[in-house]
């Protein structure tokens, strides 16, 4: 459990592991700039691309429900018999509302393996219309979701003779991208450029741009953009958002702001992206102005932005930022609580020297199984105890750390030794050394120096000389003021 939390924290601190988890990555769906931008909020399912789901009709919705329950509930009919029904057969044909089968796949996308089984059924169905490119593209995307790239490639190969269109390349590029196959994604793009009947479209370029942007390869991203412009492929709203994400990841605030400024009327998702940029950049005034504009949306669904803003405030030390942080923390719902945020808050209170608040949060961290592992954080906490000199409170912090399995450092015990020595409680100071010996068998000079100083300040020459003897024994340099005699 503790390890998992640690991993979580580390991932959070560094970056999301894969583009699929990247928060501000816009959906790659819309390909034309004429599309109404505000009808395309950044979708939570960014992997699902390339098809534009319409409102599913009731036959499709109920069929999807039946299929989903067929694999979870023993009482329901199994998948094969659901697919034998008339309603299943009726949706494989195009209707005036579009292509109901595509809608079905889109409703099943959260269960990609199940959706692929349904696709297989449709593919093997006798006397039905041949599969169209969009159906193949959906299946390729599903295979990508299921992390089965060999299946994605197989479907791509299979589709090419009958349904040859950029959408298939785009689907496979997306599958590669989301599975971290950067080079395969790029080389597929170059294959697409070699196609004689058509070339890459806006979506293909968008995929490549977001790939480079995600991997903080700004020069490549910009060169792809130039290539896009010189090939006469129109940029879309999504293109601009992808560029903003790329600049955000590479911390190029000026360029990010420039692109933001080029929107006549930025939509909500663009504003949220810019807010994130201002928060990470620590541009508090601009951040606050933007926050005023998008408050409602942030409160409704963008908790990670609240965390980003808290982080931004936590970097400046002043009365008002502490107050603002406390207000923002109130907005965070329990289920959306980040361990990382907790650590940030501990640091805020520690830096302000507010020991009661800090201890309350540390206690809470322990309850939530949050691992405090960073030496920087531990040292900041210790500095509070060092200043206030309360060795009992430090002792109970160390006990918690030991019991919770937080990474222990010598600094904890050294700080306790110093506090004991300040109070003249030298026996207890020595006990700490024994404790350290059980964790770190090899003594170090710094610990001995604290012992030395404790005894020498108390005028206990005999013990002091013993410590000097130990220093000799280990070959450490003797403190300069030591009187050897
Ligand atoms: C875009 O859609 C929104 C609501 O969905 C609408 O209010 C707005 O007028 C539309 N804009 C354009 C340019 O079509
Ligand atoms: C990928 O899909 C193919 C065909 O459905 C299947 O045979 C294969 O076992 C799958 N591979 C993985 C790694 O799931
Ligand atoms: C797909 O086709 C390419 C060349 O057209 C071939 O190299 C590759 O092995 C094929 N892959 C599969 C899984 O069929």
| Tens-place pLDDT, residues 136-170 | 999 999 999 999 999 999 999 999 888 878 999 99
Q: What are the b/e assignments for 57-66, b being 16+ CB within 10 Å?
A: eebbeebbeb
Distance CA 476, CA 469 (A): 10
> Residue 427 pLDDT more than 60?
yes
Which residue is closest in CA terms to ligand 2's atom 2? 151
How much of the chain, in percent, has pLDDT values that exceed 70?
85
Which residue is closest in CA terms to ligand 3's atom 12? 154
> Within 166-302, where are the H helices?
166-178, 182-194, 202-214, 218-230, 237-249, 253-261, 268-281, 284-301
pLDDT at position 407 is 77
Specify whether the CB–CB gap between 62 and 87 falls below 8 A: yes
Specify whether the CB–CB gap between 54 and 207 falls below 8 A: no
pLDDT at position 359 is 93
Tokens representing residue 411 in the block: 């600094």
Which residue is closest in CA terms to ligand 2's atom 12? 148
pLDDT band for 97, please (50, 70, 90 cuts): low
> Residue 26 pLDDT more than 60?
no
Contact 157 CB / ligand 3 (< 6 Å): yes
226 shares a domain with 131:
yes
- Is 387 among the domain residues? yes
Ligand nearest to the CA of 188: 3
Question: Domain tally for the chain?
Answer: 3
Contact 16 CB / ligand 1 (< 6 Å): no
364 shares a domain with 288:
no
Distance CA 305, CA 55 (A): 30
Mean pLDDT (whole number) for 239-258 = 95
Q: How far is CA 158 from CA 137, 163, 358, 409, in A?
A: 11, 9, 61, 59
**Residues near ligand 2 (Cβ within 6 A):** 148, 150-151
Which residue is closest in CA terms to ligand 3's atom 14? 154
> Residue 293 pLDDT more than 50?
yes
Query: What is the chain's Cα-based Rg?
Result: 30
226 shares a domain with 179:
yes
98: phi then psi, degrees, rounded to nearest 5: 115, -140
With 0-12 / 13-18 / 19 or more C-beta atoms within 10 angstroms meaning exposed / middle / buried, residue 222 is middle
pLDDT band for 52, please (50, 70, 90 cuts): very low
pLDDT band for 51, please (50, 70, 90 cuts): very low
pLDDT at position 43 is 31
Which residue is closest in CA terms to ligand 2's atom 6? 151
Residue 156 Cα: closest atom of ligand 3: 1
Q: How far is CA 290 from the centre of its chain?
A: 23
> Residue 313 pLDDT more than 50?
yes
pLDDT at position 483 is 58
Tokens representing residue 235 in the block: 């940029």
Domain range for 286 is 267-335
Residue 120 Cα: closest atom of ligand 2: 5
Angle CA 386–391–396, to nearest 5: 110
- Is 458 among the domain residues? no
pTM check: above 0.85:
no
Q: How far is CA 463 from the centre of its chain?
A: 53
228 shares a domain with 157:
yes
**Poorest-confidence range of 190-199, 299-308, 350-359, 384-393?**
299-308
Distance CA 479, CA 468 (A): 9
pLDDT at position 11 is 31
Distance CA 434, CA 412 (A): 14
pLDDT band for 19, please (50, 70, 90 cuts): very low
Mean pLDDT (whole number) for 83-96 = 74
- Is 104 among the domain residues? yes
- Is 159 among the domain residues? yes
Contact 154 CB / ligand 3 (< 6 Å): yes
- Is 415 among the domain residues? yes
Ligand nearest to the CA of 184: 3
Contact 150 CB / ligand 3 (< 6 Å): yes
> Residue 259 pLDDT more than 50?
yes
pLDDT at position 74 is 60
294 shares a domain with 152:
no
How much of the chain, in percent, has pLDDT values that exceed 90?
42
Which residue is closest in CA terms to ligand 2's atom 3? 151
Mean pLDDT (whole number) for 82-108 = 78
102 shares a domain with 14:
yes
Coil, helix or strand for 142? helix
Closest CA to 5 of 279, 342, 269, 259: 342
- Is 375 among the domain residues? yes
Ligand nearest to the CA of 191: 3
- Is 459 among the domain residues? no
Which of 202, 220, 250 delimits the end of a domain? 250
Residue 148 Cα: closest atom of ligand 2: 1
Higher pLDDT, 483 or 407: 407
CATH of the domain at 217: 1.25.40.10
pLDDT at position 13 is 29
351 shares a domain with 209:
no
Which of 301, 335, 369 delimits the end of a domain? 335
411 shares a domain with 327:
no
State pLDDT tens for residues 431-473. Answer: 888 888 888 888 888 888 998 999 988 888 888 888 888 888 8
pLDDT at position 56 is 53
Q: Provide DSSP, 419-458.
A: HHHHTT-HHHHHHHHHHHHHH--S--HHHHHHHHHHHHHT
357 shares a domain with 326:
no
Higher pLDDT, 31 or 345: 345
125 shares a domain with 162:
yes
Distance CA 311, CA 348 (A): 9
115 shares a domain with 28:
yes
77 shares a domain with 16:
yes
Which residue is closest in CA terms to ligand 3's atom 4? 157
- Is 318 among the domain residues? yes
Mean pLDDT rounded to a whole number for the chain: 82
Which of 310, 335, 360 delimits the end of a domain? 335
Alpha carbon of 38 to ligand 1 centroid (Å): 6
């Amino acid at each position: 459990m503790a390890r998992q939390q640690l991993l979580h924290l580390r991932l959070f601190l560094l970056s999301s592991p894969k583009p699929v988890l990247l928060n501000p990555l816009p959906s790659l769906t819309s390909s034309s700039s004429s599309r109404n931008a505000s009808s395309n909020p950044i979708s939570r399912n960014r992997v699902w691309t390339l098809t534009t789901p319409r409102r599913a009709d009731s036959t499709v919705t109920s069929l999807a429900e039946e299929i989903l329950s067929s694999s979870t509930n023993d009482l329901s009919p199994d998948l094969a018999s659901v697919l034998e029904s008339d309603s299943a057969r009726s949706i494989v044909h195009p209707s005036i509302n579009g292509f109901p089968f595509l809608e079905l796949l889109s409703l099943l996308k959260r269960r990609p393996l199940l959706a692929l089984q349904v696709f297989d059924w449709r593919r093997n169905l006798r006397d039905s219309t041949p599969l169209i490119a969009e159906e193949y593209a959906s299946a390729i995307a599903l295979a990508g979701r299921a992390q089965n790239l060999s299946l994605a490639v197989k479907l791509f190969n299979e589709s090419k003779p009958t349904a040859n269109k950029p959408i298939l390349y785009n689907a496979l590029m997306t599958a590669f991208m989301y599975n971290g196959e950067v080079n395969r994604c790029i080389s597929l793009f170059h294959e697409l450029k070699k196609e004689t009947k058509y070339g890459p479209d806006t979506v293909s370029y968008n995929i490549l741009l977001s790939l480079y942007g995600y991997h903080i390869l700004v020069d490549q991203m910009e060169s792809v953009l130039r290539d896009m412009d010189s090939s006469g492929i129109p940029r879309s709203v999504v293109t601009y958002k992808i560029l903003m994400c790329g600049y955000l990841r590479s911390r190029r605030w000026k360029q990010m702001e420039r692109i933001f400024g080029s929107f006549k009327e930025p939509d909500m998702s663009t504003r949220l992206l810019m807010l994130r940029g201002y928060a990470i950049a620590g541009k508090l005034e601009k951040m606050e102005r933007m926050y005023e504009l998008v408050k409602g949306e942030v409160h409704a669904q963008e908790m990670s932005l609240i965390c980003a803003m808290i982080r931004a405030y936590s970097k400046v030390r002043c009365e008002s930022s502490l107050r603002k942080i406390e207000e923002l923390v109130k907005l965070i719902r329990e289920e959306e609580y980040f361990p990382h945020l907790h650590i940030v808050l501990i640091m805020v209170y520690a830096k302000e020297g507010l020991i009661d608040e800090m201890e309350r949060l540390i206690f809470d961290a322990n309850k939530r199984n949050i691992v405090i592992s960073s030496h920087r954080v531990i040292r900041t906490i210790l500095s509070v105890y060092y200043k206030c000199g309360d060795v009992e409170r430090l002792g109970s912090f160390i006990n918690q750390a030991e019991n919770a399995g937080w990474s222990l450092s010598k600094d904890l015990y050294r700080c306790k030794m110093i506090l004991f020595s300040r109070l003249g409680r030298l026996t207890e100071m020595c006990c700490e050394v024994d404790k350290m010996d059980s964790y770190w068998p090899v003594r170090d000079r710094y610990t001995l120096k604290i012992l030395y100083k404790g005894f020498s300040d108390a005028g206990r020459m005999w013990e002091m000389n013993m410590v000097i003897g130990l220093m000799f024994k280990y070959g450490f340099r003797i403190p300069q003021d030591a009187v050897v005699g």
